[in-house]
Amino acid sequence: MRIFLAIFLPWIQFFTIGRPFAGLICLLLQITLIGWVPAAIWSTYALSQYKTNKTIDAAIGARR
């Protein structure tokens, strides 16, 4: 579901991962059609980093 948001509504996806300031900046990018593509790429990248961080946190938490 989040990947769908990252591509079609990138600014909302930032709010789902707890980055509201980035979401507002992404919304400004998305307002223009030219900015839509960079906003979608940025949102997808941020989502992958979010998933990686969650995986690392879970692995570190399992060791303790």
Closest CA to 24 of 34, 32, 12: 12
Cα–Cα distance measured from residue 63 to residue 22, given in angstroms and rounded to the nearest whole number: 32
Q: What is the pLDDT of residue 44?
A: 93
64 pLDDT band, cuts 50/70/90, is low
Domain-by-domain residue ranges, the chain?
2-57
Q: Is the dihedral of CA 17, 20, 25, 30 positive or negative?
A: positive
**Residue 23 CA: distances (Å) to CA of 16, 26, 48, 63:** 9, 5, 16, 33
- Over the stretch 4-61, which tens digit does the pLDDT of each residue have? 888 888 889 899 889 999 999 999 988 888 888 999 999 999 999 999 999 999 988 8
Query: What integer pLDDT is reported at residue 7 of this predicted model?
Result: 86
pLDDT, position 2: 79
